[in-house]
Amino acid sequence: MIADGVEDEEKWLAAGIAGLQQNAFYMHRALDSNNIRDALKYSAQMLSELRTSRLSPHKYYELYMRAFDELRKLEMFFKEETRRGCSIVDLYELVQHAGNILPRLYLLCTVGSVYIKSKEAPAKDVLKDLVEMCRGIQHPVRGLFLRSYLAQVSRDKLPDIGSEYEGDADTVVDAVEFVLQNFTEMNKLWVRMQHQGPAREKEKREKERSELRDLVGKNLHVLSQIEGIDLDMYKETVLPRVLEQVVNCKDEIAQYYLMDCIIQVFPDEYHLQTLDVLLGAFPQLQPTVDIKTVLSRLMERLSNYAASSADVLPEFLQVEAFSKLNNAIGKVIEAQPDMPILGVITLYSSLLTFTLHVHPDRLDYADQVLGACVKKLSGKEKLEDKKATKQIVALLSAPLDKYNDIVTALKLSNYPRVMEYLDSETNKVMATVIIQSIMKNKTRISTADRVEALFELIKGLIKDLDDAFHDEVDEDDFKEEQNSVARLIQLLHSDDPEEMFKIICTVRKHILGGGPKRLPFTVPPLVFSSLKLVRQLQGQEENPFGEEESTTPKKIFQVLNQTVETLSNIPAPELALQLFLQCAEAANDCDLEPVAYEFFTQAYILYEEEISDSRAQVTAIHLIIGTLQRMHVFGVENRDTLTHKATGYSAKLLKKPDQCRAVYACSHLFWVDDQDNVKDGERVLLCLKRALRIANAAQQMSNAARGSAGSVTLFVEILNKYLYFFEKGNPQITVAAIQSLIELITTEMHSDSSTPDPAADAFFASTLRYMEFQKQKGGAIGEKYEPIKV
Amino acid sequence: MNFLLGAFKPACNILITFSDAKTRKQVPMKNENGQMVMVPLFQSQENIAAKISIEPLQGKKIEHNGVKVELLGQIEMYFDRGNFYDFTSLVRELDVPGDIYERKTYPFEFSTVEMPYETYSGVNVRLRYVLKVTVSRNYGGSIVEYQDFMVRNYSPPPSINNSIKMEVGIEDCLHIEFEYNKSKYHLKDVIIGKIYFLLVRIKIKNMDLEIRRRESTGSGANTHVETETLAKYELMDGAPVRGESIPIRLFLSPYELTPTHRNINNKFSVKNYLNLVLVDEEDRRYFKQQEITIYRLLDS
């Protein structure tokens, strides 16, 4: 059916073109022989092809364009004729003898154009006559094309200011009047299309209408090009008349298109000065019109206009652009109760963008917009509409982009309230956007209040919102999010310790609710941030003003203790252990022995109770040893307890090599270079000897299990420890001990059962080379090494 | 040079020459054979002066019982062809009985002739003016010669010329109001008007304005009415909606119209009508006919 329709249409178009060309041919012949009567006759016949009702606007346009070209030639001929002395007035009458109205009016417009050019009558009279006569075509498509032709031929003949057609009798008012009238009539025809024909072809009709819309819009374009329309005239005549037509036509498609047209074709300056009138029209439009898009474009234009030059800004203030727009949006929303929430948000989003551009200093405006938005959203569930949420994100991102500063956004009291309406997924996205903005701009957020506000905003990332459980989030995404939170925490800083402490407490309060998955990400940065504060305080006199409540390291440590403890509960014992050790070290630097001891205790408890994986144990024990070694705050007793424990743990590791390594590492616990009270050579030797024994045992075990002795690496490592303490002057480490160890290694290496291990060989060789080198260096060290034979 | 139709008679040539033939306007007229010939144009109250020359053929003499010329205004009904009704008849005796040996010329004049009716050629009736020359003879029959001429009467612009304004309609279907600027138009006039659509519930396709001429002949039971559409002028294309007004501007000059003739000698009358026709999409016609008077205004 439809295919047939299209085919038929092609046929009709072809027939139309053929008829047109044939008559055009005869017309040309008549023109060549100056036979005006025949010329008119054939041109009328030619134009009769345009009387068809069978073509869609698209095809009709094709036909029209051909006729248009021919009419140009005819117009030239008429011009020539008048130059030869033919009376244009007679010609104007003559063409009206045509019996069919459509050809008649095309000819009339053509002659009319020449008539105006001849200036034998005031342009306004001719124009008025033409636009009036065109009423005879009530068929929408034919009428639109005819009037479009009229608009086309009259375009350069309007009595505009500065135009040659302007005169005593002809003023720009007449030009405007003419265009407005043509516009009104065209719009009426265009709107009428909607109501003609069967209902089932509605869609097709709407498509056809949209193909024709530019014909109508062209009039507005012509209006915008009339130089003589100054602001006053625009305000008094043009805009009210156009709007009247737009509002009264009560047609969705027309209203949408024309409002947009008005906004696009007339200068921004005019819009600004006529905001009242323009905006007043919006609430009167049909409830189904997509006002949001149009209004958004208006605001966008105005924003750009404001951005174009600083000189125009006072104008915006003078006309109170913001409050007018705000009111208008309120009214539009009221007038369109069915407007989807997306529309509402889009409107507010545009308004926000507008106010941010135009009144960057008026934060209260922005807050007002957000407030209005919240009001609109309230009473509704969280948004389900994807597009709407997207718009909210855009809405919320706008202030961030503009101010590049979250602090400003934090001042907007309605900001978090808007965020509440997002689903948790989007909430997260928004939170990420906020954090990224902070990081990009390295914004400093330095008061607890703001931190509080900020965390309120990004709480989507901080804890699970809702009780509803959401789909499995992507692990990588989650990590990414939490890492950004971690980075954010690092960025929070105040130079004032009091305030900083408050910030820490605030952050802590928020992140503790984060659940087992988040805490491992969020606690460490908080801990380090706190430790940073501790170190800052450490440099100062404690309690410089003797104030009771002032922040002290002690207090911070208390907080820290509790914080880290939460990690052990979730459980993340390794991480907790590391953090405890960090804290211990900081406490050590603050000379807070009990605190440090407490942290160690915590670490040990974790080690004993929670860390069962042997590999983790190895890592942990090395950390413990390393930290403990650096501690100087402990008294002998405490230190003994801790070292004893550490050594004990070392010896209980599962794998022999691990045992061995942990044990020889323990040796450092008894010999700290810069602490004179910790130089217990004997126990060092004990540790090393024990390590040797374990190494031996490992060797044997390996022999027993696999039939070959393990590598000698462990021995070489122990040798290196020997050499270290030897150099440090531990009296228990003797030349003989070293000598025998070297021999032991050599023997082992050459024993039949040993497995060749190039790495161990190289290690040993370079150790020997080191000793050789030390010898050659001479001096005290050289002398010390001298007795050792390699 | 005037020249008699079928001038060759066995006995003589009769030539009728109007005295102001050189200056008088000539207009085309269809003769009985359907050919166009140029004839002089007169109007009522004019003097009709001419001379008649009678020229016997080569030395023959014509014996006659007298020569006369008649000016006749005749109405001929086509259903009664050949039977003329003379509403005007003027006679001049030009010569007493005698013989004509050579060419002889008789000037004559009918002064301020009352010719109230215009020449008219319609479907069923014809009104004509003719000069009839009769050379009466006792034998061989009289020699008769005719010369047609045309009469047109001009009217001044009417002192009262109201517009025609009317509201018509079909209940709940179509209501229109139309207005023609005058009720009396001259032949080269322009009809200006407007049609307002007050209610439109039918799908109109187009609207035409027609000029119709109604010729009625005879009287009583024998009345014949013929209607011709002389002009068909499209006023509107497409379907208007309520509140639309469509302009009318119809130039009458291109059409061959006849002035309105009312009751010409109780024989016939010619009336003119404007017929406004609306055609709907099912090609149904809705129309309203309105009489207008057409008159002949003297060309300036």
pLDDT band at A507 (very low <50, low <70, confident <90, very high): confident
Residue A718 lies in a domain: no
pLDDT at B26 over 70: yes
To the nearest whole Å, the CA of A363 is away from the closest chain B CA by 52
Size of interface A-B (CB pairs under 8 A): 55
| Least CB–CB distance from B247: residue in A99, A133, A140 | A133
DSSP secondary structure of B24-66? S-EEEEE-TTS-EEEEEEE-TT--EEEEEEEEESTT--EEESE
State how far the alpha carbon of A310 is from the alpha carbons of A305, A307, A321, in Å: 9, 7, 15
Bridge partners of residue A172, in order along the sequence: none
Is residue A9 assigned to a domain?
yes
Give the model confidence (pLDDT) of B105-131 as tens digits: 999 999 999 999 999 999 999 999 999
Q: What is the pLDDT of residue A515?
A: 77
Contacts of A137 in chain B (CB under 8 A): 236-238
CB pair distance less than 8 Å for B246 and A93: no
A387: left (phi over 0), alpha (psi -120 to 50) or beta: alpha
At B82, the pLDDT band (50, 70, 90 cuts) reads: confident
Whole-number pLDDT of residue A468: 47
Yes or no, beta carbons of B234 and A99 under 8 Å apart: yes
Q: What is the average per-residue pLDDT within B239-254?
A: 94
| Residue A36 to residue A685: CA distance in whole angstroms | 129
Terminal-residue alpha carbon distance, chain B? 27
Residue A133's H or E segment, with its range, is helix A123-133
DSSP code of residue A709? B
Q: Measure the CA–CA gap between A677 and A124, rounded to whole angstroms.
A: 113
The larger pLDDT score, comparing residue A434 to residue B265, is at B265
What the block records as the tokens of A607 is: 């080690």
Residues A189 and A112 reside in one and the same domain:
no
Which candidate, A104, A106, A12, places its Cα nearest to that of A56?
A12
Give the predicted TM-score (pTM) of the model: 0.75
Angle between helix A140-154 and A172-193 (nearest 10)? 160
Q: Return the residue in B211, B234, B245 with the most chain A beta carbons within 10 A, the one to mutate for interface testing.
A: B234
Rounded to two decimals, the ipTM of the complex is 0.89
Residues A183 and A148: beta-carbon distance below 8 Å: no
Considering the domain architecture, whether residues A293 and A158 belong to the same structural domain is answered as no
**Do the chains contact at A138 and B240, CB–CB below 8 Å?**
yes
Q: Find, in chain A, the residue whose alpha carbon is nearest to that of B192.
A: A133
Asked if B251's CB is within 8 angstroms of A97's CB, the reply is: yes
- Shortest CB distance from B233 goes to which of A99, A132, A143? A99
Nearest residue of A to residue B251, measured between CA atoms: A97
Cα–Cα distance for residue pair A214/A672, rounded to 1 Å? 89
Quick one: A127 and A258 in the same domain? Answer: yes
A499 or A463, greater pLDDT: A499
Residue A332 has pLDDT above 90, yes or no: no
Indicate the residue of A136, A139, A140 with minimum beta-carbon distance to B235: A136
- Please say which residue of A403, A430, A451 terminates a domain: A403
Give the distance from residue B14's alpha carbon to the nearest chain A alpha carbon, in angstroms. Answer: 43
For residue A133, give the chain B residue with the closest CA: B247
- Longest CA–CA separation in chain A, Å: 137
Min Cα distance B192 → chain A (Å) is 11
Among B residues 182-211, those touching chain A with beta carbons less than 8 Å apart: 204, 206
Strand partners, B12: B56
Residue A733: closest CA among A762, A677, A692: A692
User: Using the beta-carbon criterion (under 8 Å), do B239 and A135 form an inter-chain contact?
Assistant: no
Residues A113 and A197 grouped into a single domain: no
Q: Mind telling me how many Å the CA of A89 is from chain B's nearest CA?
A: 13
Q: How far is CA B137 from CA B134, B144, B251, B269, in A?
A: 9, 11, 55, 39
Per the CB < 8 Å rule, is B237 touching A97? no
pLDDT at B139 exceeding the cut of 80: no
- In sequence order, which residues have a C-beta less than 8 Å from that of residue A67 and are 6 or more positions away? A20, A46, A47, A49, A50, A106
To the nearest 10 degrees (0 to 180), the angle between helices A681-706 and A735-750 is 10
| Tens digits of residue pLDDT in A564-585 | 888 777 778 888 888 888 888 8
Q: Scanning every residue of chain A, which has its alpha carbon at the shortest distance from the alpha carbon of B253? A: A97
Asked if pLDDT for residue A403 goes beyond 50, the answer is yes
Nearest to B27 by CA among B17, B42, B49, B15: B42
For residue A339, give the 3-state DSSP assignment.
Answer: coil
Inter-chain residue contact A138 with B254, CB threshold 8 Å: no
Q: Is B93 on the interface with A (CB under 8 A)?
A: no
Can you give the pLDDT at residue A790? 67
Minimal CA separation from B296 to chain A, in Å: 20
Mean pLDDT value of segment A62-72: 95
H/E segment holding residue A673: none
Residue B2 pLDDT > 70: no
Structure confidence by residue, pLDDT tens digits, A590-600: 888 888 888 88
d(CA A401, CA A383): 24
pLDDT recorded at residue B33: 79
The CA distance from A196 to A188, in Å, is 13
Please give the DSSP secondary-structure letter assigned to residue A471.
P
**Nearest CB to B244; choose among A96, A133, A138:** A138
The number of folded domains in chain A is 3
Q: Does B237 contact A93 at a Cβ distance shorter than 8 Å? A: no
Query: Which pLDDT value is given to residue B40?
Result: 94
Q: In this structure, are A390 and A309 located in the same domain?
A: yes
Minimal CA–CA distance to A91: which of A115, A71, A117, A73? A115
d(CA A142, CA A104) in angstroms, rounded, equals: 13
Start-to-end CA distance of chain A, whole Å, equals 105
Could B251 and A137 be called an inter-chain contact, meaning their C-beta atoms sit closer than 8 Å?
Answer: no
Q: What average pLDDT does chain A have?
A: 85
Domain limit, last residue, from A368, A403, A438: A403
Residue A227 and residue A93 share a domain: no
Tens of pLDDT, residue by residue over A707-741, are 666 667 888 888 888 888 888 888 888 888 888 88
Q: Which of A135, A145, A191 to mutate to test the interface with B (most CBs of B within 10 A)?
A: A135
**Domain carrying residue A171:** 122-266
Three-state SS annotation for A539-593: CCCCCCCCCCCCCCHHHHHHHHHHHHHHHHHCCCHHHHHHHHHHHHHHHHHCCCH
Q: Of the CATH numbers 1.10.287.3510, 2.40.70.10, 3.40.50.300, 2.60.40.640, which one belongs to the domain with range B2-151?
A: 2.60.40.640
CATH 2.60.40.640 is held by the domain B164-295:
yes
Boundary (domain end) residue, out of A358, A388, A403? A403
CB contact under 8 A, B238 and A140: yes
pLDDT at A747 over 60: yes
CB contact under 8 A, A196 and B251: no
A127 & A253 share domain? yes
**Neighboring chain A residues of B235 at a CB cutoff of 8 Å:** 101, 136
Same domain, A139 and A223: yes
How confident is the model at residue A752, as a pLDDT? 66
* A111 found inside a domain: yes
The reply to whether A92 and A214 lie within a common domain is: no
Angle ∠(A609,A611,A612) on CA atoms, nearest 5? 95
